Every structure is written in C-alpha cells, then in structure tokens.
Structure 1
Amino acid sequence: MSYVVTAATGQVGSAVVNYLLSQSVSVRAVIRSESRSEYFTSRNIEVAIADLTNADALTKAFQGAKAVFAMNPPVYETSDMNTAAMKVSNALAAAIQAAQVPRVVILSSVGAEKSSGTGNILTTHILEETLKGTAPQIVIIRCAWFMENWFKSVSAVKLGQSPVLGSMLQKLERKIPQVATDDIGRVAAEYMTKPAQAVDRMIIVELEGPEPYSPNDVAQIVSKALGKNIHAAAMTEEMIRGLFGKVGWPKETVDNWIEMVQGFDNDTICWTTNGNVTREKGTRTLDEVLGKVLSEK
C-alpha cells in the first residue's frame, strides 16, 4: 500500500513527496503528464498519470492507498476558478469514495471556512466542503499566507528591476501569519503517516510559521541580505492589474486575487476562534525561505 500525492510536481506536492520519502514509505505520485515520470521513477517513486478532473483515472491512482494528499492546483488562466475547482473537487470526491481511501489530507487555506469575500481562497472552501465525509478520516490543513509569495518581488529588487519591494498587501507595518511550503509538506506527510488511532474522524489544522511578518519585515530581510536599504511600497490596484494582465490572467481571476489580498488587509481572512481547530507552527523562518532567492548567483 502506498501514500498517494496529487499535484506532486508543485511546490507543496513535491515537499510532501520528499518528506514521505524521508520516512522510507512507499510513495505514489499523481501527475498529469508522462514527461515528468522519470524524475519520480528514478527516485523509486511509483507514478500514476491522471488529470485531476478525471474521476476514473484518479480512482485507479488511489487504489490501495493508505492515505491521499488532495489539493486543487489553482488555474489562474481560467475566467471561472470556482467552476474549475468544483470539477476537480467532484472528481477527487468520487475517486476517494470509489477507491475506499481510509484517510485524506487536504491542502486548504486560512479563510476557507467562509463562503464569500475571500477571492480565490473560495476554491479551497469548495474543496473542503466537497471532500468532507468522503473518507473515514479527513485532515484539513489550512495554511497561512505562503512565504514564497514574496519571491517575485524579492527577485525584482535583487535583479535591479525595482528600487523598492512591491507589496500587494497595503498595510506595510501589519504583521500576518505566514508559512513555508516546506513546513506544509512536512506537516501533511506527518498526518498522512500517523497511526489510525492517532487521527480523529475530522481534524482541522491551522498552520503558520514560527512568527508573523509584515511587508516592512520582508524589506528588512532583503536590505540585510543585499547590504543596502530597501523599502516596501504598496502596489496600487492598477499596478496589480497590469502585472497580472501581462501574464495573461483574465479580469475575473485578477478580481479574485485582489479580493483575497483585501481580505488579508481587512481581517476578513484570518484564523478562526473555533476551539475544535488545532493551531500548529512550522519551523522555517522567512529569512531561510527568502535566502533561496537572495543567495542565487
């Protein structure tokens, strides 16, 4: 029996795979294209080819699974992310039930308990609601703002493309919880491999890093690494729309992204006060994560 990881080529999926391998367990990677197969097979990882909207292919991929890591990779190129999320969620739900998967660990987000006002985080709400009850044990990992979201802004400063650290978050001094994808992968792998008696029927985890950070904190980290003063600057909505328009995002998708960022700024998107929710902290600091970009030659 294997531990199955969907979207195994992505940032989080690959981190889950790596941590499962470190536990010396059998791993099956679900990927869309055979072109990436060799990367996994060379590491003694079984490969299953399946589109995440294909319930039949996913059912085959999930057969004999001890646990499945399920997520909905964002499709920013579509004008209707919610419909796309529903297609993936329905296919995952059908496959989990058909393959009788005993445990599912779901990648979700802070704010996923809300059904409106969260922009593209609504796609994780759809995933959560669709997968609840599909397996005897469900673990939902709601993640804070990804530390890796800063990579492009940091790279722009490092490469001399921008004199300031552009921030979509408008409140430059306000600290919010943030988490590294490496920590997400570790925690997901841990919950996938816990003994059955150690996992309740339904667990919701709110996962954050060791401390919260503000855009100004990010600028300080960059300043220290580059040896010069870098200031954070809030991007206007027009700037954000122009940035995403250049990479081909539809207006509706950009609208969702802006609503999400505004949700973080106005506390619409924040941790719950539900006593049944478990709060966990990762170990990776923002200095460590940004070091990957800042130390590149």
Structure 2
Amino acid sequence: MHIVITGSLGNIGKPLTQDLVQQGHTVTVISSNPDKQREIAQLGAIAAIGKLEDVHFLTATLQGKDALFAMEPPNFEVPDHNEYYSTIAHSYVAAAKVTGLQRIVHLSSWGAHLEKGTGFITGSYHAEQILNTLQGVAVTHLRAGSFYTNMYSFADMIKHAGCIGANYGGEDRVVMVHPRDIATVAAEELTKQESDRVRYVASTDITASAAAKAIGAAIGKPDLQWITLSDEELAKALLERGMPAKMVIPLVELGAAIHSGAMRSDYDLHPPETMGTTTIEEFAQEFSVVYQE
C-alpha cells in the first residue's frame, strides 16, 4: 500500500512511519517544515512539503494513494481553535473526493462525542462530523486518551510547588495513552479496508493520584500528590503565569470535563478491547529523564 502520514515526524508520525516502512509499505510523510526532508528520507519514506490547509497541495499528494493518517497538528497560535480544526478537516474531505481515496484513519480524542464543554477537544468533535460526510470512504476515528507526554507540562510545578495541580486530580480517573501505542493502532487500522467508525486508544485508565505516585517514584519524590484546584484557582494561576485568556478558558473547561466524568462517558461504553503496551511506570522513567534535564 501507499500510505500518506500527516503530523510530520512527531511523537506519533515518526514511529508510525517506521512501522509502516518496516512492514513493506510505501509511505509519504507530509510536513510543513522543509528541514524535515532529510530525516524523512532517512526513514525510507517520501517527503511532501506543504500545508494541510492547502487543498491543491493535499490533492496532489493524495492522488493515487491508498490510505491517509489524518490529524490536525496542534497550533495554539490560531485565533479560533475550532475553525482551525474544521478548515483542515474540510481540506481532507475536498482532497479525498477528488482523488478517490478509500481509507482514512483520523486521530481524534476521548471526549470528541461531545459537541461542547470540552475545551480544545471540541475541535476534534467538529473534525469528526466533517469527515463523516464523506461517502465511499472508510473513515475511522481513533479517539486517543490524554497523551502521557502532556505530563511534561507539570515538571516545573513539581520542582517549584512540590505537587501536581489541576482542576481535576485525586481519585478522578484519567484515560492516558503513549504516542507509540497510538502509532501501533494507527498502523493496524491503516492496512484494513474497513473498520468501526470509532476506536478508542488507551494505555491505561488510572486515577490522578496513582499517576502521580508512579511519576513520584521515578523522580525520587514518593509522596508526590496530585491535588484538585477549583476552576477559578486554576484560571487565576494560569493567567498569572502569563497564559493568554484564549488558552486558559478551554484548558479549564477541558479539566472540568475530566473532573465531572463527561470526557469519559462514551469511552466507558466502548472501551478498547486491548490496551496499549506502555505502562505508566514505563512512561515515568521517560518523564524522569526529561525532569532531570
């Protein structure tokens, strides 16, 4: 198969490209950064340099290809997050219609079943709805849990405050996943002709306290706690750190959805048959390396 990967060589794109090339597939990797061409070629893949919002570029890249791993790369500089996600999703739809693409595996998120109340995740909801309008294309949405790697954002807080704090925590359960485990599932799905419309991807389903305990053990802080702040406390802290209000509001909303259980309401009805192989303890060792640096 000839498979197109979006997301450049990020935490998912690189291991996904490696897996597919090793399996004998031809892989084209889309990146907006010309400097990535050499690294992409070194992995045995073909580089396509351009922007996902450019329908003409995307159409030319998808022409004659068998499958697409589609994602909306995070971009916190855009003024409207939902509009950004929708623009890229519409670009995928327009290109797929012209090229006759038969298979799309789309990176979405847990909580994407909700139209509102999930902060940044509402972008994934809108992208799913747009991609679902395609006729004759087998579309699967990989609703991934919170990335383990998001935990890196707590490193400074742990160092200076001695704890993890958010507007969810304690015994709140969080679905977490390692990007490598997403890549494994994506490689599996891309080589199928058809699949379920939605597939949840997770490495663990764990309480915030248990996650903090694993991280603490790895960094020499066995008593590390994950405390729950109010929405107001979190918003105030983020604003005081200089975070723009346009980012604070959706972050607080997302945390509140995790705390209330709304984020996981559909996940609990359709959990993965098999969890990813990367445990929280294994990720904690990766966290420790970054933390020490």
Same fold by TM-score greater than 0.5: yes
TM alignment of 1:42-53, pairs within 5 A: 42-53=42-53
Structure 1 stretches lacking a partner, 5+ long:
none
Other-structure match for 1:14 = 14
Contiguous gaps of at least 5 residues in structure 2: none
CA contact (8 A) 1:104 1:139 kept: yes
Any conservation in 2 of the 1:204–1:277 contact (CA below 8 Å)?
no
Which one of 259, 265, 287 corresponds to residue 265 of structure 1?
259
For the structure 1 residues 123 and 284, does the alpha-carbon distance in structure 2 shift closer, same or farther, using more than 3 Å as the test? Answer: same
> CA–CA distance in 2 between the matches of 1:43 and 1:193?
19
- TM-score norm. by structure 2 comes to 0.89
**Match of 1:223?**
216
Are residues 138 and 280 of structure 1, via their aligned partners in 2, closer, same or farther at CA, if it must alter by over 3 Å? farther
Residue 138 (1) aligns with residue 136 (2): no
Mean Cα displacement is larger for which, 1-10 or 182-191? 1-10
Q: CA deviation at 1:26?
A: 1.1
Determine helix, strand or coil for the equivalent of 2:185: helix
- How far off is 1:33 after superposition? 2.1
Higher relative contact order (CA 8 A, sep 6+): 1
Hey, what does 2:163 align to over in structure 1? 165
Matches within 5 A, 1:175-190: 175-190=173-188
* Alpha-carbon distance in structure 1 between the residues aligned to 2:37 and 2:90: 26
- How far apart are the structure 2 equivalents of 1:293 and 1:86? 33
CA contact (8 A) 1:78 1:253 kept: no
Counterpart residue number, 1:127 = 127
Pairing of 1:47-196 with structure 2 (within 5 A): 47-134=47-134, 135-154=136-155, 157=158, 161-194=159-192, 196=193
Distance 1:69 1:151 in 2: 25
Q: Matched residues, percent identical?
A: 22
- For 1:269, what is the secondary structure of its paired residue? helix
1:203 deviation in Å? 2.4
Q: Distance in 1 between matches of 2:26 and 2:273?
A: 29
SS of the residue aligned with 2:60?
A: helix
Asked if the contact 1:155–1:293 (Cα under 8 Å) also holds between the matched residues in 2, the reply is no
- Cα drift, residue 163 of structure 1: 4.2
Distance 1:152 1:276 in 2: 29
**Contact 2:163–2:227 at 8 Å: present in 1 too?**
yes
Shift of 1:41: 0.9
- Write the letter of the residue equivalent to 2:124: T
Q: Distance in 2 between matches of 1:13 and 1:89?
A: 18
Instruction: Give TM-score scaled by structure 1 length.
Output: 0.88
Looking at structure 2, the residues matched to 83 and 113 of structure 1 have their Cα atoms a distance apart, in angstroms, of 18
Q: Distance in 2 between matches of 1:274 and 1:87?
A: 30
Question: Residue 213 of structure 1 aligns to which amino acid in structure 2?
Answer: I
1:14 alignment partner AA: K
Output one character per residue of 1:28-47: Cα deviation in whole Å (capped at 9) or x when no partner. Answer: 10011211111111222101
Provide the rounded CA distance (Å) in 2 between the counterparts of 1:88 and 1:239: 32
The answer to whether the 8 Å contact 1:80/1:253 transfers is: no
RMSD after superposition: 2.2
Contact 2:67-2:190 within 8 A present in 1 as well: yes
Q: Name the CA distance, whole Å, in 2 between partners of 1:103 and 1:34.
A: 27
User: Alpha-carbon deviation of 1:273?
Assistant: 6.9
Q: Cα deviation per residue 1:264-295 (whole Å; 9 max; x = unaligned)?
A: 11112114179788654211111112211213
Q: Is the 8 A contact 1:82 1:123 kept in 2?
A: yes
The total of aligned residue pairs comes to 285
